[in-house]
Amino acid sequence: MKTTPFTQFHIDLGARMVPFTGFNMPVEYSGVNDEHITVRTKLGVFDVSHMGEIWVKGAKAFELVQKVTTNDVAALQPGKIQYSCFPNGKGGIVDDILVYHYENEKYLIVVNASNIEKDWAWLQEQNKTVGAELENASDKIAQLAVQGPKAVEALQSLTDVNLADIKYYTFVTGKFAGVENVIISATGYTGAGGFELYMYNSDAEKIWNAVFEAGKEFGIKPAGLASRDTLRLEMGFCLYGNDIDDTKSPIEAGLGWITKFVEGNNFIDRELLEKQKNEGTKQSLRGFEMIDKGIPRHGYEVVDIEGNTIGEVTSGTMSPMLKIGIGMAYVKPEFSKLGTEIYIKIRNKSLKAKIVKMPFYKG
């Protein structure tokens, strides 16, 4: 099992460790609800070093990234970030990703930990007819997500970069905690504000210690994978392997906003996805809230009032902030309108829920 540069910190802090995508990762420290509320109200730190980082460089870099992602890379200026996905040539999704325009002729693609090898192979295959320079830097780069409303205040003492000036989905490469060339990215998977910090493994320990020292007066706490999942679900963010996968299209998944049918953007599957957008799909990913008491879970059946199957839950939890069951499910088009009542099969009971607009938690 792989470790990250922060693994010993997690063990020393008493985290409950679990195998996750081949890594020994912390699932929780003080408890899911406590960590979740800390991130929403103060400041929490996640080790996300298991994520993958792939550089695309050279004169053909733009051509390759534009070909393999659904968003419009031509609109992406240096210093900015796009949420996007790799379409798989069959109407499904290889992975959902972040694309950083690092500098001219240089992009950083951040991929899900479970998909690093698959994504690397996919990019190499697609690059055969393009000829960009590819580098899989996943094993060299560590990443910390410092998330919460106190992030700017807590971290400002560690850098001369004005953190308040880094707008959502933009980044700066600068000196942080005495370490050169740290990517300070105003992104995260929580919807609580804050930053994702990218560093070399050799600098990880120094940055971890500095972040926790600087955050002490702001109530900083380490947080694990379990609260990261409840936080992302409250925001309606998709999780690869649950809400999206190789069999679901970005149009079905409600990701039409990252699928840009503009002139010159001839990405893989464009024709098929454009047809889906114009003609509709047989199922749509929707958010729902429980009306009856119950906690929905991945794989639970969604039925209509007569008990007919109309879909399946992809993600579900008890919202720590809203104190109700929330979830996402693929449902048939006729049940996808806001306010529509549906039923979730929980322990052989059909419990009432309704389709709602995401995010669930508005802050």
The residues of the chain scoring below 70 in pLDDT are: none
Planar angle of CA 185, 117, 95, nearest 5 degrees: 55
Please give the pLDDT value at position 257.
98
d(CA 273, CA 192): 32
Please give the pLDDT value at position 28.
98
Q: Model-level pTM greater than 0.75?
A: yes
End-to-end CA distance of the chain: 38
Q: Per residue in 240-281, pLDDT tens?
A: 999 999 999 999 999 999 999 999 999 999 999 999 999 999
Instruction: Pick the closest to residue 102 from 172, 149, 32 (CA basis).
Output: 172
Structure tokens at 122: 């996919």
Report all structural domains of the chain as residue ranges with CATH numbers, in order of start: 7-51+140-234 (3.30.1360.120), 52-136 (3.30.70.1400), 282-356 (2.40.30.110)
Please give the pLDDT value at position 338.
98
Please give the pLDDT value at position 256.
98
Phi, psi of 35 (to 5 degrees): -65, -40
Please give the pLDDT value at position 84.
98
Please give the pLDDT value at position 363.
83
Q: What are the distances in angstroms from CA 317 to CA 270, 325, 337?
A: 34, 6, 22
